[in-house]
Structure 1
Amino acid sequence: MATSPIWASRPKTRGLVLDLIRAARAISRVELATATGLTGATISEVVRELMGDGLVVEAGRGAPTGGKPRTLVQLNPSARYSVGVQLERNTCVIVVVDLAGRQVARTSFQGVASLPPQQALPLLAAQVDALLTTAAVDRGKVLGVGLVSYGPQDRRAGVLLTPQPTDQWLDYPVAGRLAEGLGLPVLLDNDAAAAAIGEYWMGAVDPRSTYGCIYMATGIGGGVVVAGEVYRGSSSNSVEIGHISIDVNGAECPCGNVGCLENYAGPSALVREAVATPGLAQRLALDPSAADFLTEFARLAAAANAGDRDARDLIERSARYLGSAAVTMASLFDVDVIVLAGPSFAVAGSIYQAVIQQEVDRRMFARRAHPVRVVPSVNGSDAAAIGGAVLVLQSELTLGHARPEDGARPVPASTSTAP
């Protein structure tokens, strides 16, 4: 990275300018000065520095405005890359994205999380290496790896604080061990938070807005983004809407709460209900002993989309529960938009979107002040993996590295946090 006085004395200046260039796609130096309030001389120096690092290139002239057409600048997408890894209970997705957040390579496979971490992480590292090689990406341009998974977790230490899928994963230094295996920095984060920030980087939401994300894979999570930054709370384990209680007399959840949303509306709950519904399990060839709930849920969702009444009733009931959670999110954070992200929404999104929108329109506290739109993620089923890669780009390039109060720096490849 460059070490000019501007970068050294004001570490966010460079990131602010770079983020504005990213959001605008193409912008002039005069427009950057107006948007930031910085002097033309400062903007010129920062842009010159960014161009020297290869992050920004000139992009021709803008439309005439009565004087000399202004020279535009834009990101150089191939200047840097990052890797996103989504570690689910049954599935792993790896993506490589360029500086603009566009996916340039992808792979997925099953079964890693069912292994002990000592075996799973070397296999994961080998898959990342193979994908970078296949995509012909220069490793010298790779900023790092965003490893995203379910919570709770300690982002600073790079460890999961949950015994799922097995007790061996609890307190294991996943970020540090993966960094050692890859020789790249690794940042651990929550899958729902990652999916949320991916929408911002891809330009799918107004950069000034406050918006929420409901993420559904095997479980249910949430994230909120305020002016381009994830709301973290005190330990970065915020907006866990899958574990809000919707029934104070409900059964105890492994998380310690009772009547958790996930146990009523999540894919695993719906698959269990489908298996118990007379005739439905047989029609859909559901396997009552299957541990891969995503595959079984996809069959249920496909049947609902095709008009199977029993299947659709289950999906719609799940959607109403999630609508209640969306109302809670909107009431707590006063969001403009709620994004539905994750593989489970990818297979049944139209039903969920319609029902959740109805619940929000009918029940939201501030509905007379402003509407809240419920929309599908632009990143589809890979939203968390793409978001993990974006979090690395954001941390390294636009935040001037994550600040202590905001969370963890990527774990360096030479650092281990536990034996």
Structure 2
Amino acid sequence: MASSSIGTGRPKTRGIVLNSIRAARTISRIELAARTGVTPATITQVVRELMDHGLVVEVGRGASTGGKPRTLLQLNPQARYAVGVLLERNICVLVIVDLNGRQVARTSFPGTALLPPEKALALVAAQVDALIDAAGVARERVLGVGLATYGPQDRQAGVLLTHMPTAEWFEYPIAQRLSKLLSLPVLLDNDAAAAAIGEYWLGAVKQGTYGCLYMASGLGGGVVVDGEVYRGSSSNGVAIGHITVDINGRPCGCGNYGCLANYADPSAVIEQALNESSLGRRLGLDPGDTDVMTAFRRIATAADAGDPDALRLIERSGRLLGTAAVTMASLFDLDLIVLAGPSLAAAASLYQSVIEEEVQRRTFVRPAHPVRVITSVSGSDAAAIGGAVLVLQGELAFLELGTPA
């Protein structure tokens, strides 16, 4: 690769250097120049700046290749932190991650489905403050908060474009309001996209291009291309829950007909279980219960235990999700699909087995290369961790370093 400066601004170059060091874990300056295409002189300047501000440290020397052993660099994980928030209708998960994307603190609490936005965000802010204090993290080292939630949404404006769970949430400035409550920058993002990029940062996925199927109370998807989330024109891409699986199916709230989510997501599975009176009764399901994920977990647990009725419903959901995985792999020519989110984690082995079977049998690209299906290393916390990771990825490049400490 020819060496050249990347871009016209130092922030972009700094972001490339930081991300390359993080991905490699330990790396020399010469290797950084070769990997990024940034000139050795610029690498030296950027690394010196990052070291002066404690973001990067030297950690000894690598093995000699015939000359002087090269000095190795790595990120200083305690230099900066980010908070990730999964804001779901039935559960909220909060995490703090260090500069390497490793989780250092976590908490969760029941969701905010029945609360108006103002009260819900005040509760989230109080929990974030408490978690930062409990973790002993200096607040000035916290870069910001990644707020991962469902869509559609206007990521730039920081608002949801959906009337769920209630009409009050539509176009409510959730990112701006939470930022004001916490006095920290808040980045709104899609939960499935956040879950997808989190896998890459944590090192669970080695290749830079792959897909993610994400299921919490709803169903979504994300695709990472060369280590970056595929955004589309409005950052609402890969809405896999709204592909049509039945052209004569019932209308969906999105405006489409026969959407996958209407047949395979947790609410659909619960509805199917309630229609099977004996199963719904055995599991104590209540048609008026708004806690979708708890009810779904009961069905998943029963399926794992071998209940034939519950197993049939989960397997049917898995076959339909297999259609989503096949579609995603065919559209983007993927060789890896990651399964993430609290609902998929509730029956991870069942879903993984069924979806992989569908992918191996039906994917268009299978004569060219295999397509693997794996479960997330982050499980039910994938979106929260990914939200924090997106803050690290976005904020570090443009961090005002100021005067060295």
TM-score class, shorter: over 0.9
Match of 1:118?
118
SS of equivalent to 2:293? helix
SS of equivalent to 1:366? coil
Match of 2:176?
176
Question: Deviations along 1:48-69, whole A, 9 cap, x unmatched?
Answer: 1111121111111112222222
2: CA distance between counterparts of 1:287 and 1:368? 47
Question: Deviations along 1:228-256, whole A, 9 cap, x unmatched?
Answer: 11111111111001111111111111111
1:213 pairs with 2:212 = yes
SS of equivalent to 2:67? coil
Match of 1:314?
313
1: CA distance between counterparts of 2:231 and 2:157? 16
Letter in 2 for 1:123: L
Letter in 2 for 1:150: Y
Residue 119 (structure 1) shift:
1.4
Residue 75 (structure 1) shift:
0.7
2: CA distance between counterparts of 1:294 and 1:381? 11
2: CA distance between counterparts of 1:122 and 1:344? 26
2: CA distance between counterparts of 1:360 and 1:160? 33
1: CA distance between counterparts of 2:327 and 2:73? 42
SS of equivalent to 2:347? helix
2: CA distance between counterparts of 1:47 and 1:298? 48
Match of 1:373?
372
Residue 111 (structure 1) shift:
3.6
> Is contact 1:7-1:14 (8 Å) kept?
no
Matches within 5 A, 1:10-409: 10-207=10-207, 209-398=208-397, 400=398
Letter in 2 for 1:234: S
Residue 153 (structure 1) shift:
0.4
SS of equivalent to 1:344? helix
SS of equivalent to 2:113? helix
Letter in 2 for 1:90: N
2: CA distance between counterparts of 1:218 and 1:266? 7
2: CA distance between counterparts of 1:210 and 1:337? 8
Match of 1:410?
none
> Is 224-233 or 7-16 further displaced after alignment?
7-16
> Cα 1:7–1:330, aligned 2, differ >3 Å: closer, same or farther?
closer
Residue 297 (structure 1) shift:
0.9
SS of equivalent to 2:247? coil
Residue 7 (structure 1) shift:
9.7
2: CA distance between counterparts of 1:37 and 1:101? 25
Question: Deviations along 1:249-297, whole A, 9 cap, x unmatched?
Answer: 1111111111111110001111111122142123222223211111111
> Is contact 2:195-2:340 (8 Å) kept?
yes
> Is contact 1:55-1:75 (8 Å) kept?
yes
Question: Deviations along 1:201-229, whole A, 9 cap, x unmatched?
Answer: 1112224x321100000100001110011
> Is contact 2:195-2:212 (8 Å) kept?
yes
> Is contact 2:6-2:12 (8 Å) kept?
no
Question: Deviations along 1:141-200, whole A, 9 cap, x unmatched?
Answer: 111001111000001110000011000000100000110100000010100000001011
Question: Deviations along 1:333-370, whole A, 9 cap, x unmatched?
Answer: 11121110000111101111111111111111111111
2: CA distance between counterparts of 1:114 and 1:236? 27
SS of equivalent to 1:147? strand
Runs of 4+ in 1 over 4 A off after TM superposition: 5-8
Match of 2:403?
none
SS of equivalent to 2:367? coil
Letter in 2 for 1:186: V
2: CA distance between counterparts of 1:153 and 1:65? 51
SS of equivalent to 2:323? helix
Residue 43 (structure 1) shift:
1.4
> Is contact 2:6-2:38 (8 Å) kept?
no
Letter in 2 for 1:354: S
Tell me the percent identity.
69
Residue 8 (structure 1) shift:
7.2
> Is 6-15 or 348-357 further displaced after alignment?
6-15
1: CA distance between counterparts of 2:106 and 2:221? 24
> Is contact 2:175-2:188 (8 Å) kept?
yes
Residue 37 (structure 1) shift:
2.6
Query: Aligned Cα RMSD in Å?
Result: 1.5
Question: Deviations along 1:75-129, whole A, 9 cap, x unmatched?
Answer: 1000000011111111111111111111111111114232111211111111111
2: CA distance between counterparts of 1:158 and 1:9? 26
1: CA distance between counterparts of 2:91 and 2:141? 27
Q: TM (normalized to structure 1)?
A: 0.92
Letter in 2 for 1:34: A
SS of equivalent to 2:392? helix
2: CA distance between counterparts of 1:239 and 1:138? 37
Letter in 1 for 2:367: R
> Is contact 1:112-1:124 (8 Å) kept?
no
1: CA distance between counterparts of 2:25 and 2:162? 40
2: CA distance between counterparts of 1:156 and 1:279? 47
How many residues in Structure 1 have an aligned counterpart in Structure 2? Answer: 395
2: CA distance between counterparts of 1:80 and 1:7? 25
Residue 6 (structure 1) shift:
9.5
> Is contact 1:210-1:334 (8 Å) kept?
no
Q: TM (normalized to structure 2)?
A: 0.95
2: CA distance between counterparts of 1:6 and 1:218? 41
